Each structure stands twice: as structure tokens, then as C-alpha cells.
Chain A
Amino acid sequence: MGELAGDKHVKYILSVEKKKDSFESVVMEHLRLNGAYWGLTTLDLLGKLDTVDSNEVVSWILQCQHESDIRALQNEDGSFSGDIWGEVDTRFSYCAICCLAILKRLDSINVEKAVRYIVSCKTLDGGFGCTPGAESHAGQIFCCVGALAITGSLHHIDKDLLGWWLCERQVKSGGLNGRPEKLADVCYSWWVLSSLIMIDRVHWIDKEKLIKFILDCQDTENGGISDRPDDAVDIFHTYFGVAGLSLLEYPGLKATDPAYALPVDVVNRIFFGRCST
């Protein structure tokens, strides 16, 4: 099979910073912090974080800081709104729980209610949707399983049932889709895979075939990874492709924490060590 064109992907990520006059960059304007996360984490997984100036990045991020209080966004039923304007979705449960755990302030929300709300979003096939009654979706499943993992609540999940639903996402090409009868997409290499790892069922998919699918989604000339072979690349899919390969223990990549979606050494530093400056 092919190989991971790591150096090309590094070049691609760094070039996004300098890309002139692209429609894509205009449309992605609201996602700049996300873009920074995807790009930087991918560089770190590839062992190339030193290619950016960390002081520059840190001071820029600090300028993006905004007054807001996650705790105030928890609702009566335990769910979380995305912001003060009220949209409720299990994605926000994950964001809140993940952020507060990293800040070591999980005690500032009602974790029991938060868990109960997530469990209420369980579907008849063992998965999770965005709200109670909504269809199982691999992205939402990642959010719910991740939130339950971080809060030590995985016992609420029927791991065998969910594991089967998740491994059924693997299609003939070896790629993973997000729902039955949908197309495979590289980003599900993250959402399905990390969920499977968190519930100890990752051996139920064919890892070799998935690796081949991800590698086939690379642009080996210009760098970057796309949603499926021969489509246009973007930072989002580049990150999820590389992170997926990391979860699959592809050689040469740092290990990734499936719940926090951060390199394992970063998570260890957060929880067990002091930040080196």
C-alpha cells in the first residue's frame, strides 16, 4: 500500500497560513481558531510542531479570548447550549465537559445531570444523536462517548451493541461512513475509530483496509488529505486523516488520546505534569 506523505502534509498546512485570495479561506473565516487547532495538532502528531513560532500562536490565540462562562450554559435538564442564544446539542455537552476537564473545573457543573441528558440521547441501535429521538450519527456518538469517557460514565453504554453499529460503518472500500447507507468519509476515521477505542472494540474493524483508505485520500503531490479519494483537500480532513492513522498506530506518528483528541503527551502534561515554557 501507499505511504503517509508526512512532509507534503506539513508543507500544505504551513502554506494555508500564507494562502492568498482563496475562496476557501474566506468561507473558513469563522473557523480560524478551529483551523489553528486542526493544523497545529496535525503538525504535532507528525512531530513537526517546531515549524511554527509558538510565541506568535499563543499571543494570537490570547487575543481571541472572550468573556464567557461555560457553567452558565448548562440547562435544567443537564444539556448544554452552544452559547447564550440557546442551541442545544450533545456536541456542546462534549465541548463543555472536555474544556472543563482540561481546566480541572468539572466540579463547577452538574455532571450527573449532564450524563443523564447524554444517556437520554441514546438511540434504539445503541448509538447517540444530537437530541433525544434524533438519529444515530458517528459525530454525535463521538461527542457523547467522549463526554461519558471523561466523566467516568462509560458503563451507561451497551458497548457490544454500539461497537457493532460502529464497525458496520466500514464499507467495501475500507473507509468508514457516519450513518447506514452513506458514503465513506475520512473524518469518520476519527469519530468512529475514537469511539471504538473508548469502548474497547476497535479490533472489530479491518484496520489495514482503513489505513489504505486514508492513505488513498492523500494528495501526495501538494500535500493534504481529502474526504474521499480524488476530492479537494482541506485542513479539517488532513487533521482527521492523520489523527485516524495515529489511532491505528501508523508508524512515525505520535499517539493521540481518543477522548480529548489531543496528543497523549499533551494530555499527560495537562493532567500530570507542569507545562514547560
Chain B
Amino acid sequence: MASSSSSSSEGEGRRAWVPLASRPEFAGVTPLPQDDGPSPVVAIAYRDDFRETMDYFRSLYSSRELSPRSLLLTSLAISVNPANYTVWHFRRQVLEALGADLTEELEFTEGVAKRNAKNYQLWHHRRWVAEKLGPDAASRELEFTRKIFCLDAKNYHAWSHRQWVLQALGGWEDELDYCAQLLKEDVFNHSAWNQRYFVITKSPSLGGLNAMRDSEVDYAIEAIHANPENESPWRYLRGLYNDENEAWLNDSRVHSACLHVLKAKRNFKFALSTLLDLLGLGFKPNQEIKDAITSLRTSDSGEAGSDSDLANSVCSILGREDPMRANYWTWRSSKLPQAAEV
């Protein structure tokens, strides 16, 4: 019964609880009750299985018993309270003392993850195991996070783990394709866009941001055309140029994409705010863009004249389209550079 597999610990919860006091493997253990002090605050009425499990845990923990039955007990304790970090820490000590097979431990954590995919202690434990197993564990870790993403493609812990795996253990080769796959399933997945940025900037096999920029601009714009209301590709596109304002201004694909969205007259908020960003950096729009903006105005105040009038038009359209952030768009118009008097 020294198995650390998840099925026994999960099964315990569902079948009738067999008191630890009547289990032969725990013979000789004196349970240690919890000391809440004389006047407990937020006192909790515990279930019998929880109380007994923790009483036994406390006993083996305080006597530092690093044995197979201690390992079993941590499985039980984790199943009744997976967030108790003392239990997880003790489990690591037991695993080390027993020289346990850590690939079995991976299975155990996968079982816990099924019902506790957002538990910090679980992920920390998994990282500890993977680190011990080394680079050979990389593909299994990527597969594990992939399974988690099938259930919740934005699980923040899983993404943090996956980034750590790539940097510490490797496995970059298929990561860009994986991002593309996730974005095909849900192009609004901001985590996947973030991961894509992570890959193109940090992957040792891709050549870095400068090398990847060109193809990634096309990729982002394709996503923009499919769903112009999608915040992520717009931010991604801007991020591709980061501090390189000259290059950002001069990439005609960017303002062409904005124009394309404006002409459709739907979901143009991010197109307009991108144009606003460009105008603020000195962009000189052509007549087509000016006309597209003008046609979105509802108030009839004549042709858009100078560029600062144009930018102000953009701000007031945005204030109208996005009233929740009216103060923000008003502020943007106050920050516009004044057009030179000609």
C-alpha cells in the first residue's frame, strides 16, 4: 500500500472512509491532534476523514518518519487538502529519502491536477520533480501542459510552467507550431499570443525578434482581418516593433491593415487607436485614410483639415464608440502634438 498513485488517494474520498486507526500499515502511530490554542479564531468544524488524516500526518511529520507509509499519508493528506504546502514539502523529503521513482511521481501530480489545475503547490511540486528528472523530462512536461490546455487553454500556472520547461529543459522545436495550433482553435487566446511572442524572442532555433518580425507582421495582420475586434493581434503587432518607432511608422502593411478595417465600418476601435498612435509619432496619412476616418464621423463639421484635426476626429469617434473609456480617449486627444501652422 506504499503506492503513490493518484487512483488510491482519489478513491479514498469516494468510497466509505476506513479510519486510519484500523489500518494495519499505520499501526503504532499515535495521532497528534491540532493545537488551536485556548480561543481559536475562525475555528473550523472538520470532517472526520480530514481530521484523522491530518492528526496522523502531524504525527509522522513531527517524528520525521520518511517511510513508504509517510508517502501514502501525504497522498491522503493532499487529497483532502491539496493546498497544504507543509504536506507537499514533507512529501518531497520522503521521496528523496526513499530514492523514489520520480516518473511515478509525475503520474501522481497528473492525478491531482485533474481536480486542482490552479493549485500553486501542485505546480511547484511538478517543477521540482521535472527539475530532478532533467532535460529528458522536457517532452513529457510539454505534453502534460498540453493536456491541461485542452481543458483550459489560458491556465496561468500551466503557461508559467511551460515557459520554465522550455528555458530550463528545452524542447523549443515545435513551440511556434503549437502556438499556431492553439490560435487556430481560439484566435482570442491572449496566453497563446503571449507565448508566441515568448517563442519568437527567446527560442534559440529561430533567430530572434528581428529575424522573425517580417513573417510575424503578416501573421498578426491576417488575424486582425479575420477579427478586427480582437485585442491580442493588435498588441502583438505593436510589440513586434517595440521601441522601433521609425520602422513601425514606415511599415505600410500596418496602416493598410487599419484602412482595411475602417472601410468595413465595423469593429474599428483598435484600428483607430493604432492610427492614433501612428499620428502621434508623425505619420502622414494619405487621402484614402483621411476619407475613411471622415466617413466614420457622425457630426457634420466638414472635411478633416490638418492632421491634428484628423487626430481629434479619431479621438471623438473613439469616445463615441467606446463610451466606457471616454475619459481615456479625451486624454489621448489632449496629448496630440499640435500640427505646425502652414
Interface residues of A (CB under 8 A from B): 16-23, 25-32, 35-36, 39, 56-57, 59-61, 63, 83, 85, 87, 123-125, 129-131, 133-137, 160, 163-164, 167-168, 170, 174, 179-182, 203-206, 209
Contacts and interface: CB of A to CB of B under 8 A. Distances in A.
A124 B44 contact: no
Contacts of A28: 44
A124 to B, nearest CB: 3
Interface string B158-195: 01100110010000000000000000000011110011
A18 B154 CA distance: 37
Contacts of B236: 124
Contacts of B120: 87
A130 to B, nearest CB: 6
Interface stretch (B80-88, B135-143, B210-218, B283-291): B80-88
Contacts of B124: 85, 87
Contact of A60 (B41, B191, B326): B41
Given A124-B242, A135-B159, A168-B231, A60 B325 contact: no
A170 B324 contact: yes
Given A17-B42, A25-B44, A60-B41, A167 B325 contact: yes
B219 interface: no
Contacts of B37: 59-60, 63
Contacts, number: 129
A180 B232 contact: yes
B40 A60 contact: yes
A19 B326 CA distance: 45
Interface of B: 37, 39-47, 50, 80-81, 83-85, 89, 92, 120, 124, 127-128, 154, 156, 159-160, 163-164, 167, 188-191, 194-195, 197-198, 201-202, 231-232, 235-236, 238-239, 242, 323-328, 331, 335
B328 A26 contact: no
A59 B39 contact: yes
B197 A27 contact: no
A124 B197 contact: yes
A36 B40 CA distance: 11
A172 to B, nearest CB: 8
B102 to A, nearest CB: 16
Contacts of B232: 180-181
Contact of A167 (B41, B323, B328): B328
A24 to B, nearest CB: 10
Nearest to A23: B47
Nearest to B190: A180
A26 B324 CA distance: 41
Contact of A131 (B40, B163, B242, B328): B163
A206 B331 CA distance: 14
A125 B239 contact: yes
A89 to B, nearest CB: 8
Given A60-B41, A87-B124, A135-B194, A27 B81 contact: yes
A35 B89 contact: no
Contacts of A170: 324-325
A181 B188 contact: yes
A204 B325 contact: yes
Given A26-B47, A124-B239, 12 more contacts: A21-B45, A26-B46, A59-B37, A124-B242, A129-B160, A131-B164, A137-B156, A170-B324, A179-B190, A179-B191, A180-B188, A204-B325
Nearest to A163: B328
A30 B84 contact: yes
Given A125-B239, A181-B231, A203 B42 contact: no
